[in-house]
Amino acid sequence: MKKIFFALAALMLAFTGCGLEDGNTQTNENKAVKVVVNMDKPGFGEDTRAPRQGWEDGDVVGIILNNDFEHVLYLTYSGTAWESESFFLTEVGPGMKVYTYDEDDEGNPTPAHEAQKAHYFSNINPSGNLKAIYCSSGLSYFDPIFEDDELVGTQYLSIASEDGIGECIMTCEDGTYSVSEGVLTLNITMKPQVAQYTIRNLNVEDGWNISIHGPINFYAGACFTEGGIVLTPIERALYGYPHQNGNDISIFAAPWQSNADIPNFMWEELPPGMPITEDLYKLLYVFTVHDEDANWFEREFDYKEVKIGGAVIMDGPFTEGAESKWE
């Protein structure tokens, strides 16, 4: 089944042409409907050096309209504008339903798929609500969620979720859309669900990876549900999906804000009789940087409050004058 989903995700790269309108309003035209996207990407923290501000080529956003889990709208950023396509829940065998996108031998949407889109957008409510998910590692596939044979949600499985590492996740649970005269307008305000941790003077191409031991949770992928968006935790994960940002590497994780953020498996492993204080979550941070040749560097920090959407930037082991800060 995974092979089927991978193939379906790959097919979605064949989109129609797109244009750029004023400001952050971007359009994508196809035979069925024109899609107008109003969506900014927030930065992290107030430090102007914090990277990954603004959308990048290849960024992907999944969208559900009016909790209709039989259809997933899929946006890909081309570097200048958004391109859109649709997945529809399709029965491919007895009791087996998957999200599909039909294309011809040249990678173009089939007439049947275009007709399906046209029918869908001409019959939805003229306005309504939407939910959106962005995962920085990219989409692996969408998966329907069933409970007692009832469709109750859609899972956004990212590349990082398959690798078991954390990533940058942004969501919107209160977006809106409208359809008028063949134009679908999407109004989306993304909110970070993690913080950004950046180490200077490291290059992903050199094989460097970053891990964090401390008061953070890693997430990868998320689920659309009627009640909202639920992030997918990666339990016992230590590594974040590495993003090259100029001369630096950033990873993303959700810092603990209270004892309520401590995962269940850690509560279960507490020593018997250990006193539970209100600030139990204020643990030491340990950052580790290593490459494929077993070069290993470690740096510790006392607890520091970091908010969701915040940014932490530190000198790396190769930053001039910072070598002594790393073991």
In the chain, count H helices and then E strands: 4, 23
pLDDT of amino acid 47: 54
What span, in angstroms and rounded, lies between the C-alpha atoms of 232 and 321?
39
CA 145 remoteness from chain centre: 18
Angle at 306 between CA 200 and CA 156, to 5 degrees: 85
Check: CB of residue 208 under 8 Å from CB of residue 202: yes
- In 3-state terms, what secondary structure has residue 22? coil
Among 108, 121, 123, residue whose Cα is nearest residue 34: 121
Residues 195-218+229-325, CATH architecture: Sandwich (2.60)
pLDDT of amino acid 11: 31
* 19 pLDDT tier (thresholds 50, 70, 90): very low
* Cα atoms found within 13 Å of the Cα of residue 116, Cβ hemisphere only: 18
What span, in angstroms and rounded, lies between the C-alpha atoms of 29 and 27?
7
Confidence (pTM): 0.85
pLDDT in tens, 50-64: 555 578 899 999 999
pLDDT beyond 90 at 70: yes
Cβ-in-10-Å burial (0-12, 13-18, 19+) of 264 comes to exposed
Check: CB of residue 99 under 8 Å from CB of residue 105: no
pLDDT in tens, 185-215: 999 999 999 999 999 999 999 999 999 999 9
The residue behind tokens 């007709």 is 115
Among 216, 214, 213, 211, residue whose Cα is nearest residue 308: 216
Tokens of 85: 């396509």
Percent of the chain with pLDDT over 90: 67
* 46 pLDDT tier (thresholds 50, 70, 90): low
Check: CB of residue 27 under 8 Å from CB of residue 34: yes
**Range with the poorest average pLDDT among 3-17, 94-108, 151-165:** 3-17
What span, in angstroms and rounded, lies between the C-alpha atoms of 208 and 20?
37
Cβ-in-10-Å burial (0-12, 13-18, 19+) of 198 comes to buried
Q: What are phi and psi of 17, to 5 degrees?
A: -65, 160
* In the chain, where the domains are located: 2-190, 195-218+229-325
